[in-house]
Amino acid sequence: MKNKGKLIMLIFIFSETFFFIALIIAYVYYRNFSDTTDTVAKSLDAVRAGIFTLFLIASSGTLILSKKALQKKNYKIFKLFMGLTIVLGSVFTFGQITEYIGLYQKQITLSQDIFGSSFFTLTGFHGLHVILGLIALAILFFLSFGKMKTVTIAGIDGVDVYWHFVDVVWLFVFYFVYITPLL
Amino acid sequence: MSLYIDIPEDKEQLPSLKTGQGKLAWMASVDHKQLGIMYLWLALVFFVIGGLEAMMIRAQLALPNNDLISPELYNQIFTMHGTTMIFLVLMPASIGLGTYLIPLMIGANEMAFPRLNAFSFWMTCLGGMLLYFSFFAGGAPDAGWFNYAPLSENNYSSTQGVDYFLVGLILTGIGSIGAALNFITTVLTLRSPDIKLNMLPLFVWMIFVNAFLMLAAFPLLNAGLFMMLIDRQFDAHFFLASTGGSAILWQHFFWAFGHPEVYIIALPAFGIISEVIPVFSRKPIYGYKFVAASSIAIALLSYSVWAHHMFTVGLSNTVNAFFAISSMLIGIPTGLKIINWIGTMHKGSIRLTTPMLWAMAFLICFTFGGLTGISFAIVPITWQLTDTYYLVAHFHYVFLGGSLFGLFAGIYYWFPKMSGRMLCSKLGKWHFWLFVLGFNLTFFLQHVLGVLGMPRRIFTYPDLPYWKVLNMLATLGAVMMFVGMAIFFWNIYKTLKKPRTVGENPWDAWTLEWATPSPPELKNFDEIPRVHSRRPLWDINNPDNPDKKLN
């Protein structure tokens, strides 16, 4: 493979996968193999989280469109969809922050019990990855305005792979944290 | 206006000691050769510290009912000794040799991501410094190198030592992941166009396979470390059984990392041995493909053996049986590799240089450590002998007899390439014999001590039959190793003061790094020799009798 930016990001997310697997295992383990009942699940609003999930999935779609536009050298469309990706990602982050505030108002906290600990750790680490991705996207976005009108192939391919990864991880988190308690 | 261009990163001159001026150039450098040497210096500095800690342990245990060191300090010392030797000596030494040699061996001028390379080094270095800062911040971590919960949790610690342990290891873990990313991309994208993957020198191949192991193992450790840090700093409950958490889960996370880690440390040594033994037996490696493929088998199997560290936890018999069988299975590819190396030496014209001596000591001691390892795969033996000195002896045979002897072979072998000077062979042999004999004196006897029932990690012991004499002899062996190491440092110091005299290929070796001057210029290769087989320099030096063409 010639494109080392894409290659390193692919093996990096291979590594990241193991990190999230460990965090998800902890959550599933405590729910299914300990004697306590899940105190967080009943306070979660799966529909609300589902709507914000759609925003994150949509952002992956717009990123694909913006990358295609870049390859066709259609810079206006590139900027439009890149901006849209950042907005959609930010909406998701906003949804997560307001959810956290709501839970803390209901006295559901990190130090409350084992489910508080694992819920906030798992979703928090995912949220950090989203914010990191947003920063990377924002850098690519603003580069296309400034004097340095260059986006490296390595840069856009790397961020692209990373953002889709963050998206896919959320689908697993959403399934295990929000959906399985309802089943 | 172009928005989408490929910026070639390596056309510009990268910062390095040879281009920049002053001491700050050390921090700015991204040259893989310099970073490789810095990794080795880092490992050497921490080896001195970890070695002094080992000497303190042996001094305390030399006599029964000794009170040289307080129990609190003793706990800190053995924790720091283990953590240092694994994360700050064996890891950076292996990564350092890889960083120095991989571009040279595959005909590249740099790593794929030179800045990431520097980042990885400084992460490892800062992690180590943070770990040792704990001594000034109230006390070092004292829950052992595997840091079992709940002993490592807030209610059982009086200092912040464990927090420094957690943050320090997270940093070194990130550094190792960065190095692994770099190794894989370098091998896949920067090989000389002649070199196909089945022509890689075995050292490169082992580091390449090893990098995947690191990528999969360190995130598991880091996830566990983060959870425990959140436990300690934000009052979470992950590993606190009293509030619904699970201390066993920490053990699973730790050993799911910890056992692959054993192979992460061993595989680079296997790679070194696979370079050293053929060169000094004057024969190509016996069964190249088998050695290469069995490393993949080891890498995959190493993820299915972790619970053999947990036989005494009380998992079910089914679980124990599964992990016992897989632990015995992993002995097969490892054991067959030994046969390959012996097969390489068979009927070879063996030159007993210092690197070759270390390689042969590796073969014997590592095999012995492997056999005691197999004995631990048998569940009742673990029940009887776990946490005794038999265990301590076993893993020292693996880590010293395996990894460290391999690394010493590598350092003696590549020192002329790195510095342009040959380490004194007479002093090298003193180092070798003192260290190997001392090592066997210390740790062979500890098998016996373990069977006699002496538990590990006790700060002193009563005067039971044979315990006193065996411990005294173990301390004597440690002193021999200490003197051996002093000779090694003297050897390095003395050699580095001499002028550079070594030519390109002092050992008459066959891989590409020996086609560069010693030490190589900032730019490794102006032109890369054509490569048609696994031994390019052999083909060039023996045009009448080249190896079989592979491309």
ipTM: 0.94
Within a domain: B22: no
What is the least distance, in Å, from the CA of B135 to any CA of chain A? Answer: 29
pLDDT band per the 50, 70, 90 thresholds, residue A82: very high
Residue B535 near residue B511 (C-beta atoms within 8 A) = yes
Count residue pairs from A and B with Cβ separation < 8 A: 121
Contact A117 B177 (CB under 8 A): no
Is the residue at B28 inside a domain? no
Query: Residues of A near B (CB-CB distance < 8 A)?
Result: 1-2, 4, 7-8, 11-12, 14-19, 22-23, 26, 29-30, 34, 36, 70-71, 73, 75, 78, 110-111, 113-114, 116-118, 121, 125, 144, 149-154, 156
Q: Which of A117, A128, A148 to mutate to test the interface with B (most CBs of B within 10 A)?
A: A117
**pLDDT of the residue at A147:** 57
H helix count then E strand count, chain A? 5, 1
- Tokens 């950090």, located at residue: A128
Measured between beta carbons, which residues in chain A are less than 8 angstroms from residue B5?
150, 152-153
Rounded to whole angstroms, how far apart are CA atoms B534 and B195?
Answer: 9
Q: Check: CB of residue B120 under 8 Å from CB of residue B39.
A: no
Q: What is the pLDDT of residue B5?
A: 45
pLDDT averages per 10-residue partition of chain B, 551 residues = 45 62 76 94 97 97 94 96 97 97 94 94 97 94 93 90 96 97 95 92 97 96 96 93 89 96 96 97 95 94 94 92 94 93 96 97 96 94 94 96 96 95 96 97 96 94 94 97 97 94 93 93 87 93 90 81
**Binary contact (B215, A144; C-beta < 8 A):** no
Domain-located, residue B25: no
pLDDT of A71 reads: 82
- On the 0-12 / 13-18 / 19+ scale of CB atoms within 10 A, A73 is exposed
Specify whether the CB–CB gap between B368 and B338 falls below 8 A. no
Residue A151: what pLDDT? 66
In order of B206, B361, B401, the CA distances from B281 in angstroms are 21, 15, 21
Check residue A145 and give its pLDDT. Answer: 78
Distance CA B405, CA B439 (A): 11
**Amino acid residing at B515:** A
* Number of other residues whose CB lies within 10 A of the CB of residue B398: 20
Looking at residue B7, what is its pLDDT? 44
Which residues of chain A neighbour B223 with C-beta distances below 8 Å?
18-19, 22-23, 26
Residue B503 sits in a domain of what CATH number? 1.20.210.10
Q: A25: distance to nearest CA of chain B, Å?
A: 10
Contact B338, B363 (CB under 8 A): yes
Under 8 Å between Cβ of B40 and B93: yes
Cβ contact A149–B1 (<8 Å): yes
The fold of the A4-14+45-182 domain, in CATH, is Four Helix Bundle (Hemerythrin (Met), subunit A) (1.20.120)
Q: Which chain B residues are within 8 Å of A29, Cβ to Cβ?
A: 246, 249
**Alpha carbons A147 and B210: distance in angstroms, whole number:** 43
Find the CB nearest A29 among B182, B235, B246. Answer: B246
Sequence spans of domains, chain A: 4-14+45-182
Q: What is the pTM of this model?
A: 0.94
Instruction: Examine residue B13 and state whether it is found in any structural domain, yes or no.
Output: no
Is residue B479 in a domain? yes
Residue-by-residue DSSP string for A33-100: HSSS--SSGGG--HHHHHHHHHHHHHHHHHHHHHHHHHHTT-HHHHHHHHHHHHHHHHHHHHHHHHHH
Rounded to 5°, angle at Cα B319 from B314 and B324: 100
Q: Does B236 touch chain A (CB under 8 A)?
A: yes
Closest CA to B99 of B86, B84, B89, B113: B113
Question: pLDDT band at residue A101, thresholds of 50, 70 and 90?
Answer: very high
Pick B189's closest partner by Cβ from A2, A23, A111.
A2
User: Hey, which residues does B4 pair with through a beta bridge?
Assistant: A151
CA angle B164, B170, B172 (to 5 degrees): 100
Q: Is residue B549 part of a domain?
A: no
B436 is in which domain, residue-wise? Answer: 34-541
CA-to-CA distance for B478 and A149, rounded, in angstroms? 63
Structural domain includes residue B206: yes
pLDDT tens digits for A34-73? 777 788 888 899 999 999 999 999 999 999 999 888 888 8
Contacts of A47 (CB under 8 A, 6+ apart): none
B367 touches chain A (CB under 8 A): no
pLDDT at A152: 67
**Number of domains making up chain B:** 1
| Contact across the interface for A2 and B185, Cβ inside 8 Å | no
Q: Which helix (H) or strand (E) holds A151?
A: strand A151-152
Positive or negative: CA dihedral B399, B405, B410, B411: positive
Task: Indicate yes or no: CB of A19 within 8 angstroms of CB of B215.
Answer: no
